[in-house]
Every structure is written in C-alpha cells, then in structure tokens.
C-alpha cells in the first residue's frame, strides 16, 4: 500500500507540472483504477511514435500485481480523437450542429453526407466547413466530397466507416481513438471533459458493445444471404435476400452488438492496413450479412488474440427504447434530460433537428452558445454581449474540464471495474 501511496504522490507531482490538468480532485478515483489495469497493449508497434514508448513498457504489466506504472506511462499530452459524423438526405443542418458541439482544435473530423442527399445540401455543408474561421485556422475538418451510396443495414455502411478511417489515417493519423457518429447523435459532455478523462486511460482500449450470444440473430442474421445493391448500382435499391441460406462460420466466432463505437488507433491500423488477413476475410464475409455494422468490428476485435483483451463492453451512448423495443430507439426529448445526465454517458441518440432538448444540453451541459463551437480551455475570448469565447484562440493543449468529466469518470470507473471489465470481454 505504501508503494501505491508514494506512486500517487509522484503522479500528483507530475500532474502539477502539467498545466493542462486543472482540477486534480476530479481524478481522485480514476487514477487508482488506471493503476490496476492490466497490460492491454498488443505486440504491434505501429503506434504513433509519441505513444510507442508508453505502449511497449505497459506490456510487462499484469493485472494481479499492482506495481506502480513507470511515469512514462502517463499521457504525455491529452489524447486526440478522430470523428466520423455522417448523415443522409436532410441531415445537413443537424450535422453542422453536431460538428460544432463536438469540436476541439486538436481532434480530427470527417463529415459525410451520403449519395441520397441532394448536391445542394452537400455543397452547403462543404461551404460551411470551408468558411468556418476556426475550422480553417486548424484545418482539421474534412468533408468526403465524393459521396458514397450507403445502405443503412448493409456492408456499404461498413465500407463508408472504413473509408473515413482511412481518410483520417492518411491525414496524418495523429489521433488515439476513432469515433463513429451520426448527425442525429449529440454529446452530453464537452470535448475537454472527454479528453481530460480519456487522458488517464490506456490508449489501446476499444469501446465496443458486443456479445457472442447471437440468440435470434443466428437464424435471422447469420444464416440469410443478402446482397447490398449499394455496392454496384448507381442508385440505391436496398438489400436483396437470396432464397439460399448458409451455415454459421466455423473459421471464426460471430459477435454482434451496437453499431456505435470508439476504436483505438492500433485496432484501426490493424483493420485498414490488413497485414493479418482476418479483417479482410471477415469483411468479405460480412458483405452478404444483414446489419453488418452491428457485427463486423465486433467479430474482428474478438477473434484477434492481440485485441480481444482491449475491449470495453459499451458503446458510450445513452439510448431510450420502447417496451418492447422497436427497431430504432426513441427520439429523445426534454423529458429524457434527467435520465441522460444520470447515465453518465458522453453521447446520446437520437435527436430531431432543433429539438428543445438540444438547447437544454447546450446551455446546461456544454455551455455552448448558438452556432458556436463548444467552448474549452483553448477559448480565451470574453462571453460578454454574446461574443464567442472561442473567437480568441489560446493554448490548444490547455484542457478545462467541467462537471461532465466527473460524470464520465464514474461511467469509466464502472465499466473498468473488476466485475464488468474482464468478465464481459468477448463472451
Ligand atoms: C463561403 O465562401 C464562398 C466563397 O468565399 C461563398 O461563395 C459562399 O457563399 C460562402 N458560403 C457561406 C455559407 O457563407
Ligand atoms: C457508424 O455510424 C453510423 C451512423 O451514421 C451507423 O449507422 C453505422 O452503422 C456505424 N457503424 C459502422 C460499423 O459503420
Ligand atoms: C488476454 O487475456 C488472457 C486472460 O487473461 C490471457 O491468457 C492472454 O494471454 C491475454 N492475451 C494477450 C495478447 O495479452
Ligand atoms: C457590451 O455591451 C456594452 C453596452 O452595449 C458595452 O459597453 C461593452 O463594451 C460591450 N462589451 C464588449 C466586450 O463588447
């Protein structure tokens, strides 16, 4: 215990030297948790160079012995997130708002309106991205201009997500997690809250809700063979089902779960580069699978020995379902506000454009003014007379967490607790 204490002291001293961490008290409970985490890292060394030192040293740690981690394991800088925000016809306005609510200069963003949307709507989004002073200043928002044809439940959705991940890797790849969102999602914490809390986590964790118990999906999903017309038709005609059925795979085990996730940089490298054939063969297999976005990454991560131990069984989203559940979750409105906050989730879905609950989230959780980016430690301007505080840019590595960081910390603590973390991995 003494050893732990002295480690904490050291940890605190290190932190005090880092101006980007403000309220130390917030992390009174998360730091011991990080301490007790096992080695999560894969043997790969394709991490960005800034992170590779921490990843290689972490591989010598075991869950059972609570050795203090070497200080080099502490994040050298706050993490960076890479977001895909995508939408379809009519989602353009909502997508802009979600983008502003998720913005941080150190993150990267790819926005995509699929080929169902009108060219004018796409042009409007393109102009918005091109003309926004802050986006231009940091040039970290990109739009996929050659819109993809996307079938909601088909493999074209997965290929669209992989496309965005590839764009984000090519744009420098200086990020730690890839987060897949839709225009109808909305954050419940500021980016500073998220970056602050995530700076204490091993960067190879993959937040992905999954199970290997397929239940009714074995007959309804795994056995039917479908063809996604979005793969080869100029106009989307949806999914065709063949009369033949196939058997459940024996070469790998199927997993299924939520289509929303936050995936680590090493895992995205694994999926995109394809030096191991698993991500490629599983992708080809899922080309004929209904609702492939609910299974592709889940099956890859759980069948790859070097990644299954990095899974955290959660999609980090708040959703509200009918009883019995319908195909889609309910649209969230003001009456859901208290439950949303109590869930401690960093994100929620789904919302109608300009629903009053979004204004409530903006003012009470994000402190965001209308049409402004979500404020953070990097915003130095005044708020007087409705001025955008982020019109004056300060140090972008300066993180100023709010109460949302505390909520998120509680969620992460619970997800990584000994009764939830290991026992729920790829089962
Ligand atoms: C963005 O800038 C271009 C060129 O300066 C202009 O034509 C366009 O109208 C602007 N769009 C918006 C939405 O302000
Ligand atoms: C990614 O996000 C979209 C939201 O636009 C979702 O519908 C899709 O299924 C997600 N997942 C994958 C694996 O593509
Ligand atoms: C994953 O965890 C299991 C059980 O704790 C362990 O036996 C295995 O060696 C771990 N795999 C890797 C790649 O760390
Ligand atoms: C805010 O408005 C008041 C009154 O109109 C003015 O005196 C003040 O200078 C303004 N402040 C800023 C920062 O613009």
Residue 164: both structure tokens together: 């965005």
Q: Which helix (H) or strand (E) holds 127?
A: helix 119-131
- Which residues, in sequence order, are CB contacts of 313 under 8 Å at separation 6+? 208, 209, 210, 257, 415, 420, 424, 425
Task: Please answer whether residues 382 and 390 qualify as being in contact, where contact means their C-beta atoms are separated by less than 8 angstroms.
Answer: no
Instruction: Find, among 312, 311, 330, the residue nearest to 320 by Cα.
Output: 330
Dist. CA 295–CA 48, nearest whole Å: 28
User: How far, in Å, from the CA of 169 to the mean position of ligand 3?
Assistant: 28
Look at the block and give the residue holding tokens 């102009």.
Answer: 127
Protein residue closest via CA to atom 11 of ligand 1? 127
Distance of CA 239 to the CA centre of its chain: 27
Beta-strand pair 256-264/317-318? unpaired
Decide: 161 in ligand 2 pocket, CB within 6 A.
yes
- What pLDDT score was predicted for residue 190? 98
| DSSP 3-state of 224 | strand
Nearest to 88 by CA among 156, 155, 183, 187: 183
Q: Residue 106 has which token pair?
A: 């150190």
At residue 336, the pLDDT reads 98
Splitting the chain (427 residues) into consecutive groups of 10 residues, what average pLDDT does each group show? 40 38 42 45 31 35 38 68 98 98 98 97 98 97 95 94 97 92 98 97 97 96 95 87 96 98 98 97 97 97 98 98 92 98 98 98 97 97 93 96 98 97 98
Question: CB under 6 Å to ligand 3: residues?
Answer: 305-306, 309
How large is the C-alpha radius of gyration of the chain? 21
Q: Which pLDDT score, from 0 to 100, does residue 44 have?
A: 29
Any atom of ligand 2 within 6 Å of the Cβ of 310 = no
358 CA → ligand 1 middle, Å: 27
Q: For residue 258, how far is its CA from the centre of ligand 3 (angstroms)?
A: 24
Distance CA 157, CA 418 (A): 34
pLDDT number for residue 76: 60
- Residue 31, classified by CB atoms within 10 Å of its CB into exposed (0-12), middle (13-18) or buried (19+), is middle
**CB half-sphere exposure, 267, CA atoms < 13 A:** 32
């Amino acid at each position: 215990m003494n050893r732990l204490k002295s480690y904490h002291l050291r940890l605190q001293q290190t932190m005090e030297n880092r101006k980007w961490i403000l309220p130390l008290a917030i992390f009174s409970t998360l730091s011991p948790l990080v301490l007790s985490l096992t080695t999560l890292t894969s043997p790969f060394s394709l991490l960005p160079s800034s992170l590779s030192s921490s990843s290689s040293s972490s591989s010598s740690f075991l869950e059972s012995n609570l050795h203090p981690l070497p200080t080099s394991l502490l994040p050298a800088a706050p993490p960076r997130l890479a977001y895909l925000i995508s939408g379809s016809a009519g989602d353009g306005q909502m997508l802009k708002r979600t983008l502003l609510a998720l913005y941080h200069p150190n993150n990267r963003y790819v926005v995509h309106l699929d080929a169902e949307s009108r060219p004018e709507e796409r042009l409007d989004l393109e102009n918005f991205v091109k003309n926004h002073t802050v986006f231009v200043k940091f040039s970290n928002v990109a739009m996929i201009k050659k819109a993809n044809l996307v079938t909601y439940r088909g493999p074209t959705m997965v290929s669209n997500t992989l496309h965005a991940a590839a764009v984000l890797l090519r744009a420098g790849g200086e990020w730690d997690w890839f987060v897949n969102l839709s225009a109808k999602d909305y954050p419940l914490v500021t980016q500073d809250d998220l970056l602050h809390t995530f700076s204490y986590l091993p960067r190879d964790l993959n937040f992905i809700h999954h199970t290997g118990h397929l239940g009714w999906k074995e007959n309804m999903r795994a056995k039917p063979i479908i063809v996604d017309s979005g793969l080869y038709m100029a106009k989307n005609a949806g999914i065709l089902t063949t009369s033949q059925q196939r058997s459940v795979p024996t070469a790998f085990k199927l997993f299924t779960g939520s289509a929303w996730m936050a995936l680590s940089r090493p895992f995205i490298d694994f999926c995109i580069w394809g030096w191991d054939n698993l991500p490629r063969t599983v992708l080809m297999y899922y080309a004929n699978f209904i609702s492939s976005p609910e299974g592709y990454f889940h099956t890859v991560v759980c069948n790859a020995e070097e990644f299954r131990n990095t899974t955290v069984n959660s999609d980090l989203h708040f959703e509200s379902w009918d009883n019995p559940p319908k195909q889609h979750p309910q649209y969230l409105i003001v009456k859901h506000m208290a439950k949303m906050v109590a869930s401690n989730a960093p994100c929620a879905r789904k919302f109608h454009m300009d629903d009053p609950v979004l204004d409530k989230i903006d003012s009470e959780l994000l402190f965001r003014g209308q049409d402004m980016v979500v404020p953070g430690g990097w915003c130095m301007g005044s708020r007087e007379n409705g001025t955008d505080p982020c019109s004056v840019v300060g140090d972008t590595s300066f993180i100023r967490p709010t109460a949302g960081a505390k909520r998120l910390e509680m969620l992460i603590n619970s997800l990584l607790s000994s009764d939830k973390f290991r026992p729920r991995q790829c089962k």
